Amino acid sequence: MGKLKRIGILTGGGDCPGLNAVIRAVAKSALLGGLDVLGIEDGYLGLIENRIRPLSYEDVSGILTRGGTILGSCNKANPSSHLVLDDGEWVKKDVRDRAMETFMRHELDAVVVIGGDGTMSGAAELIEKGLPIVGVPKTIDNDLCATEVTFGHDTAVNTAAEALDKVHTTASSHHRAMVVEIMGRYAGWLALHAGVAAGADVILIPEIPFDIEKVADQCRRRRRRGKGFTIIAAGEGAIPKGGQQFVDRVDATSPDPIRLGGVAKYVSDEIHKITGLDSRHVVLGHVQRGGTPTPYDRVLATRFGHHAFELLTAGRMNRLVVMQDGRIDSVPIEDVANRVRTVPLDSPLIAAARAVGTSFGD
């Protein structure tokens, strides 16, 4: 491709602390380098519906510490399978050509796509149509393949660990089992890190199916040792042995329609039935995705954004910025599309948690 003149930036999927820090890093680097920068609103919807606006230096100043995204986001837009109204009925259609028309209408040279696994899967499908993309990995779940960490994860771990800390005092005072349901979908990174950080007595993650009787046994053992309470960190995707993940609802309008939820209530109810202990459950929900990013996430987002700009200027398109062995690098976006990074069963963190008496319900 020729000399880079104009780039677009979009944020896809769910919101996440650190998005604005990446927008700032990419946009300021580009603007100071003499490029034009356009903001694409609400993720892929902006490309589909031609909702694009110029970004000035002032637009991206003062947003480093702000949560959310100044560009808006959407987790229901997939250009290759987009819901459109056709003869009074909603049907899914491939509208990638429409997205390409928007790209060409604004004379963009490339788009920086900031998102998680679903967003990168969509990016891979747009790359097939010829759209030059550089990806930046975002998700509180930390489940994007090829990278050791995604920005937003650290902030969410802090939020979840703080919640576990807070229910600790109530659990102790009232001699209860407290079950806290933590996001993470099909990967247990968030529940594992938050649970270890807060000293949870039980950590339930999707990678290790749990036996509710063994979870109850942990509560009994603690009671025999004079600890009348138990703190349980439950990843929303945790699975009882021989059972299935708990589904709260199905959203047919979304490319990923399954909405997990309900494991904390199940565990809390069963503990009470089995042990007679008073138990309660808490669902943290979207509070984990909001708020000011931690300093770690601000730094990581800035580094990721800067490397994305370096890839752009070097003409290295269709790559995702990643962290590998503690160093910033990149991999082809197609290598991470439609894949989920889960916690390996031989994870040193699982071993460390077991060594201090933490139960995984197995």
Q: Which one of the listed residues 141, 154, 201, 297 is annotated catalytic?
A: 141
- Cβ proximity of 234 and 191 under 8 Å: yes
Alpha carbon distance 334, 12 (integer Å):
17
Distance CA 46, CA 73 (A): 9
Say whether 346 is catalytic: no
Give the dihedral sign, CA 270/162/341/19: positive
Output the 3-class SS for the chain: CCCCCEEEEEECCCCCCCHHHHHHHHHHHHHHCCCEEEEECCCHHHHHHCCEEECCCCCCCCCCCCCCCCCCCCCCCCCCCEEEEECCEEEEECCHHHHHHHHHHCCCCEEEEEECHHHHHHHHHHHHCCCCEEEEEECCCCCCCCCCCCECHHHHHHHHHHHHHHHHHHHHHHCEEEEEEECCCCCCHHHHHHHHHHCCCEEECCCCCECHHHHHHHHHHHHHCCCCCEEEEEECCCCECCCCCCEEEECCCCCCCEEECCHHHHHHHHHHHHHCCEEEEEECHHHHHCCCCCHHHHHHHHHHHHHHHHHHHCCCCCEEEEEECCEEEEEEHHHCCCCCCCCCCCCHHHHHHHHCCCECCC
* Beta carbons of 360 and 203 less than 8 angstroms apart: yes
Give yes or no for a contact between 207 and 343, defined as CB atoms under 8 angstroms apart: yes
Active-site positions read 141
